[in-house]
Amino acid sequence: MTLRGGPGVAKFAEPGMVERLDKILDFSLFPEGALTQASMNAGVYGVPFALQTYQIYYNKEIYAKYGLKEPATWDQLIENCRVLQANGVTPFYFQGREGWGLSLVQTTIGASILGAEWITGLVKGKNAFTDPKFIDSLYKVLELKPFMQKNFEAASYSDMQMAFPMEKAAMTFGGMWDVKSFDQIAPEKEWGMFLVPPVKKTDRPYAYAYMDGAYGLNSASKNREAALKVLEFTTSAKFGQMFVEFNQEISPIAGIQAPAELTELQQGLKFVEHHALPDIYGVRSVLTFGVPDVHTLLGAGMQAILSGEKTPKQLAEELQTGIASWYKPFQK
């Protein structure tokens, strides 16, 4: 059976509807971060089959025209925006209508601004959303507001998927799945992609990579042995390679190569292999297992921040209080 990552796995694992698999199958080819999102209480209950990353896409032709390079620091990203704006180019096409997309933008920025160590500390309850470091990551989204297109609040995700390849802006935030849409609309164009740069050049940029789905074993299966053979195959490099080539999406299995012509997918695989966070705090994370969940709170909260209805500090307090109402590590 197919499971969604994070709470989608726990939903079936907790009542015993799917079997624990880490005692049966070999998961040595999978990164820790992917397995965490298919786990509950230290047991793995699904074989991850797809990972998604969220990053910044840019139009290579526009960047070349103004002599811009992929930024290594946050300040360099802001400077690129200023150069583009000074030349009459909208730096970012931003969708502000749908909260789930804004939540992904914040966690994508947070991945590099907060860093892996701090985020792991947050998940363990050692750090808090109300810490100045997290509040600063919320302000970083506000720093981009002057560089967004007019009326970004009304733009939907599908608007972004169409506007960016039509050169309505030089950059946009998007998922690995968006490449297909961009290529269909403007197959003659070339896109580059980079992770949100950290504040300091010496810091490491991180990818917010999350599991999009996993294969589970129904505890009531009448064909258990046959199902296990299928699941065993899905843990192999051969399956991972087939998945990448057929679906043009990221496999979590280590060492998989994308076809040479799929340059964005090649880059996405590198993001996962070298820059993926070991722990995540937004969509598909353990902070989405209860109500209210962090993904929903972040989405609505970012809309409120961008409209001026809330401050980053107010949203941080709302996140901490909301998650602490059910998440035990926050109750210490």
Instruction: Kindly state the average pLDDT of the residues 167-191.
Output: 95
Q: Which domains does the chain have, with CATH numbers?
A: 2-51+213-266 (3.40.190.10), 53-207+282-331 (3.40.190.10)
- Retrieve residue 80's tokens: 């690129």
**Residue 273 confidence (pLDDT):** 84
Q: Which of 276, 258, 326, 262 has the alpha carbon at shortest distance from 297?
A: 326
Instruction: Work out the pLDDT band at 325, boundaries 50, 70, 90.
Output: very high
Instruction: Specify the pairing of strand 208-215 against strand 47-59.
Output: antiparallel
> Is the pLDDT at 44 greater than 90, yes or no?
yes
Instruction: Work out the pLDDT band at 159, boundaries 50, 70, 90.
Output: very high
> Is the pLDDT at 53 greater than 90, yes or no?
yes
**Structure-token match 């698999």, residue found:** 21
Instruction: Work out the pLDDT band at 175, boundaries 50, 70, 90.
Output: very high
Q: What is the pLDDT of residues 99-156, one digit of tens each?
A: 999 999 999 999 999 999 999 999 999 999 999 999 999 999 999 999 999 999 999 9
Instruction: Work out the pLDDT band at 83, boundaries 50, 70, 90.
Output: very high
Instruction: Kindly state the average pLDDT of the residues 266-271.
Output: 91
**Residue 294 confidence (pLDDT):** 98
Do the beta carbons of residue 219 and residue 16 sit within 8 Å? yes
Task: Answer whether the bond into residue 292 is a cis peptide, omega within 30°.
Answer: yes
> Is the pLDDT at 31 greater than 90, yes or no?
no
Decide which of 31 and 165 is more confident.
Answer: 165
Listed in order, strand segments (DSSP E) in 103-198 are 171-175, 191-194
**Residue 140 confidence (pLDDT):** 98
Alpha-carbon gap, residue 255 to 260, rounded angstroms: 15
Average pLDDT, the chain: 95
Instruction: Kindly state the average pLDDT of the residues 83-97.
Output: 98
**Residue 33 confidence (pLDDT):** 76
Instruction: Work out the pLDDT band at 248, boundaries 50, 70, 90.
Output: confident
Instruction: Kindly state the average pLDDT of the residues 197-219.
Output: 95
**What is the reported pTM?**
0.91
**Residue 163 confidence (pLDDT):** 97
The dihedral over CA atoms of 199, 203, 208, 214, expressed in degrees to the nearest 10, equals -170
> Is the pLDDT at 328 greater than 90, yes or no?
yes
